[in-house]
Structure 1
Amino acid sequence: MSPQTTQTTQSTEPIELARHYGTPLYVYDLDRVRAARADLFGWLPEGFEVFYAFKANPHTDLVRALRTGEGPACKAEISSTGELAAALEAGYPGSDILYTGPGKTSGELAEAIGQGVRTFSAESLSDLRHIGETAVAHGTEVDCLLRINSATASATTSIRMTGTPTQFGIDSETIAELAPQLLSVPGTRVAGLHLFSQSNARDEEALIGELTHTIEAAAEIQRELGVPLRLLDIGGGFSVPYAQQGGRDSYPKLRVELEASLDTHFPTWREGTPRLAVESGRYLSGDSGTLVTQVSNVKVSRGKKFVIVDAGINTFGGMSGLGRLLPVSVHVEADAETEKANLVGPLCTPGDVLGRQIEVPAGLASGDLLAIPNTGAYGPTSSLLMFLGRPAPVEVAVAGGEVVSATRIEHVRTPTSAGGRP
């Protein structure tokens, strides 16, 4: 990101900041990031660790806010050397980083180990061997969590990560057979398990059902491995609206339900064996963000109104290929008159649609500003930033009523040596 000159403004309200910095504009409220962190730790049993999934939003100021200030600090869950660089820049030590992903290359592993990362999630026996080979080459030994693809699940969620053939995790029914090989890979120590079965649980009951099922499954796998677990990552699923009005979900029953399940299946957990962790991306960053976009044009085609704005799927792609984007909502003042329109971006593709027949303020015209809420997760870095060569949006971080930074990701083509970066 190249820094923009940060000037004093009269307000840190997103619309006012857009008038200063232009559009498209993301505004991240770091106070809300820290509030989400405090809430999540508060819902969990005491002693739980929280790994922040950098894929949700790797903005340096945002991820720094998750490890600074009052209360427990988050750790980092990453899956690329780019995210590794962001974590290190934000002050995360290698000892607080979990490196995940099904396709780790030898170059990635070498860079991570060289930067002090010592905990990896292994997605298969071959992945574990790749990790071990790199560790041995660096004269060290690393801790590995075996990621498990459980054969069964408890809840139905927007994105299921287990129970089907997948590149993620070791099939749970093969653990007993593979145990001798998994426990004897040079350069690695099997430190625990990583079970991530869902994303964005539909409600608290679904979340509790899935996480307690995960704890039960982990206890069975521990027995099959024949070794005690030192770290158990039970995944996530904590929910927040995505580009829609509303607030983060609350989980008042979660602590007592997890404690009961852990008491049954891991009776020494209160003494720290195993250490316990969850991971979250959208819950920690989602409601911190507001995307402000300017209306470029308004037209009617065969009886339907189209509001064309300067933020398209290149600005807010939101992994739209997974069907996770439509429809967005925009801020409408209370009691204001509304009408239905298709909200579309500026790109030369019919796929550049943010919402079909959504409620927008009536009478929009070129130059008007619209604010899309809950856009702190899966924004610029999950969008088609390079498509059609349009500039990336400005991203402004605010805290305590002041602008902390204003930056923009730059697309620069540079010469590279054979092989490029890992």
Structure 2
Amino acid sequence: MSSLAELFGRPDAPPTPAYLYDLDELARSHAALRAALPRAAELFYSLKANPHPAVLAALATAGCQAEVCSPGELRAALAAGYAPAAMLYTGPGKRDVDVDEAVRAGVRLFSIDSPYGLDQLDRIAAEYGTEVRALVRINDDTPSPGQGLTMTGVASQFGADVWWVLDRPELFGPRRHVRPVGFHLYTGSNLTGEDALMAQFNQSVATVRRLAAATGVEPELLDLGGGFGAPFARAGARPEYPKLADRLVRLLDDAFPGWPESGPAVAFESGRHLVGTCGTLVTRVLDVKRSQGSTVVVLESGIHHLGGMSGLRRLPPIVPDVVALAGPAGPARPGTIVAGPLCTPLDTWARSATLVELTPGQLVAVPNVGAYGLYASLVAFLAHPMPVEVTVTGGRVTGMTRLELTRHSTNGSVRG
């Protein structure tokens, strides 16, 4: 945090609140995950974690492909230089207008959750006289242990249940303009240990073998999802997976003898592990007071800048580490309420945090918020100013932008 204190102590320091994205750390994260996967495997970046243009461009340059699930993410990926034909378009429900835009832009690989999704894709591809490929997303029989967020093994909008595909394989077969080429399985997220990751990958590969045996169709492409963990809003390093690549090669070679020279192409996805540790939120203390025997610290950032989606259970409830960048460094004391400036009692990061004594105007920072930070928050609620987003390379500011919300349109031109 000393480098942040120095950066924000300069006369030309960025305004606050500010999300800082360290592109050097981003490069290290990508290199580490790439080394933890088999060389032959493809790696998709899940834009939902952080679609900032500089983050996208850096990962595109490093060799990631894009996994998108909305028209906005598609446009962001295209603007950052990702090739549409190499993208994967996912999502449990897609509007006709969004599928149309993707096919028109050149996207040719979609993850589909139902026979209706295949029919929809076939109808739209036919309008352009083109063929597209589909991965059938599978909702496996049981969840894997150790998941941070369960994505399979329960009633879900994600994927087709295994029994459904086994019982009615013809429903998931080719259409005139759609060629199913394999399966997409994403069973859980935010796994920090190799054993937990391998448990879900073992289960997914076994399920694919069951499906192939029942249908007689060997997959050309297998997307095993991800689940690679990272700390969120707390101090700490991203987890390492030193033996994962070798374990995956053995798993895939057992399931598909001769892999990777024979058998399906294999892909993985990551959002939080790639970008989580590259982001820091820097914000100021607005007020400090005593209330009912507790110290209350009010920051200029709250759930509108960080953690708003924890209330929707997309993220776990957060108690961020709040680190003073400068000022008196007295002993840390428990029992501090950390709140934001919104006019709701829900705007609270912590009810009993252990903090040093803070004063109005002081700068504080929250680490490891590069994933699901600003872009998973309640930015429209109460219309407070958006944070600036600052990219840093080699300790120097290389870019600064501010995301602006679109104002209401009154010209009758709203579409879709």
State the TM-score, normalizing by the size of structure 2: 0.93
Secondary structure class of the residue paired with 1:376: coil
Q: Is residue 2:168 matched to residue 1:178? A: yes
- Superposition RMSD on alpha carbons, in Å? 2.1
Distance 1:12 1:300 in 2: 27
Contact 1:64 1:90 in 2 (8 A): yes
Q: Is residue 2:346 matched to residue 1:354? A: no
Q: Which amino acid aligns with 1:348?
A: C
Gaps of 5+ in 2: none
What is the match of residue 395 of structure 1? 389
Pick from 16, 34, 50: which aligns with 2:27?
Answer: 34
Distance 2:86 2:11 in 1: 36
Shift of 1:227: 1.3
Pick from 130, 133, 138: which aligns with 1:140?
Answer: 130
Q: Is residue 2:368 matched to residue 1:378? A: no
CA deviation map 1:202-233 (0-9, x unaligned): 42221111112111111211222321211111
Shift of 1:180: 1.5
Pick from 55, 63, 71: which aligns with 2:56?
Answer: 63
Contact 2:22 2:392 in 1 (8 A): yes
What is the match of residue 294 of structure 2? 304
What is the match of residue 95 of structure 2? 105
Contact 2:89 2:109 in 1 (8 A): yes
Q: Which amino acid aligns with 2:256?
A: F
1:247-396 aligned at under 5 Å gives the runs 247-271=237-261, 273-321=263-311, 322=313, 324-331=316-323, 337-340=331-334, 341-362=336-357, 364-396=358-390
Q: In the superposition, relative to structure 1, how do residues 166 and 419 fare at CA in structure 2: closer, same or farther (>3 Å)? A: farther
CA deviation map 1:309-333 (0-9, x unaligned): 0011111135212152411112258
Distance 1:261 1:353 in 2: 45
Shift of 1:178: 2.4
Secondary structure class of the residue paired with 1:214: helix
Secondary structure class of the residue paired with 2:171: helix
Q: In the superposition, relative to structure 1, how do residues 272 and 330 fare at CA in structure 2: closer, same or farther (>3 Å)? A: farther
Contact 2:18 2:387 in 1 (8 A): yes
Distance 1:78 1:252 in 2: 28
Secondary structure class of the residue paired with 2:399: strand
Secondary structure class of the residue paired with 1:396: strand
Gaps of 5+ in 1: 1-9
Distance 1:292 1:167 in 2: 37
Q: Which amino acid aligns with 1:349?
A: T
Shift of 1:418: 6.1
Contact 1:243 1:372 in 2 (8 A): yes
1:230-241 aligned at under 5 Å gives the runs 230-241=220-231
Contact 2:44 2:67 in 1 (8 A): yes
What is the match of residue 24 of structure 1? 17
Number of matched pairs: 409
Secondary structure class of the residue paired with 1:250: coil
What is the match of residue 47 of structure 1? 40
Pick from 192, 210, 219: which aligns with 2:209?
Answer: 219
Q: In the superposition, relative to structure 1, how do residues 133 and 268 fare at CA in structure 2: closer, same or farther (>3 Å)? A: farther
Contact 2:5 2:325 in 1 (8 A): no
Q: In the superposition, relative to structure 1, how do residues 291 and 178 fare at CA in structure 2: closer, same or farther (>3 Å)? A: same
Shift of 1:420: 3.2
Distance 1:129 1:16 in 2: 58
Q: In the superposition, relative to structure 1, how do residues 51 and 18 fare at CA in structure 2: closer, same or farther (>3 Å)? A: farther
What is the match of residue 3 of structure 1? none
State the TM-score, normalizing by the size of structure 1: 0.92
Contact 1:12 1:402 in 2 (8 A): no
Q: Which amino acid aligns with 1:407?
A: T
Q: In the superposition, relative to structure 1, how do residues 26 and 79 fare at CA in structure 2: closer, same or farther (>3 Å)? A: same
Q: Which amino acid aligns with 1:111?
A: E
Distance 2:10 2:163 in 1: 54
